[in-house]
Amino acid sequence: MKKIIPFFVVVALLILFQSFSTHKKTISILVFSKTKGFRHNSINDGKTAIAKLGKAHRFLVDTTENAALFTENNLKKYAAVIFLNTTGDVLDDQQQKAFEQYIQAGGGYVGIHAATDTEYDWPWYGKLAGAYFMSHPAVQEAKFIVKNRKHPATSFLKDSVWIHKDELYNFKDINPDINVLLTIDENSYTGGKNGKFHPFSWYHNFDGGRAFYTSMGHTKETWTDKLFLIHLYGGILYAIDRK
């Protein structure tokens, strides 16, 4: 005898399926690129590249330089917020509080390059980002040492050394709780000031949320580098809590 599924069960299943599908389709990230100091001429290249990543991997990308969007209600829409080459004091006290609440509620943060040259008077942000910018030499090629290949931001790298050309930051106030993915070999270039331990990309759980940072992303050429884009996408996956 054929079993008849009650109508209300069918409706419930349809609602559940629709809700699941909608959830999958509405993963959104916010790319924030406001500057109050040096402005990188690669910011537009970064926005374009991240939008292409979103299109390829089916997440929505909003871009803004309007700090007024940092409110509790608006930030709830985003699985992660990317600070793309931000510089200086870009959020006021109220906006800072809203962003702290967003992270504490489980939000994700991705910092790219000059994100560490941002908000020096906001210690919470410094710990979230993982360090502050100190200085940099001229753009040059260097050897990056892979310290962790289990993370999506580095799992694609087959070799233990990654050769990459970029602006190579020196850091201060490094958060000891970060999990380092890449370090830079200071013997491979001129101008390093962090010594034997010079982290360049990392991640960590922080204050209820997830944070990923890569110091790559200064040059326009970086934003068409396939390895860098895979690296960045892996960091975004971590920040939005997806495998």
- Could you read off the pLDDT of 165-175 as tens digits, one per residue? 999 999 999 99
54 occurs within a structural domain: yes
Q: Considering the chain, what percentage of its residues have pLDDT values greater than 90? A: 88
- Domain carrying residue 43: 25-239
Is a pLDDT exceeding 50 seen at residue 29?
Answer: yes
Strands 161-166 and 140-146 come out as: antiparallel
CATH number of the domain residue 127 falls in:
3.40.50.880
What Å distances lie between residue 99 and 5, 42, 79, 110, CA to CA?
A: 47, 25, 13, 13
pTM assigned to the model: 0.90
**Confidence bin at 26 (pLDDT 50/70/90):** confident
162 occurs within a structural domain: yes
17 occurs within a structural domain: no
Extract the runs of DSSP E, i.e. beta strands, from 14-139. 28-32, 60-64, 80-84, 108-112, 132-135
Q: Considering the chain, what percentage of its residues have pLDDT values greater than 70? A: 89
Number of domains in the chain: 1
Q: How many CB atoms lie within 10 A of CB 40?
A: 23
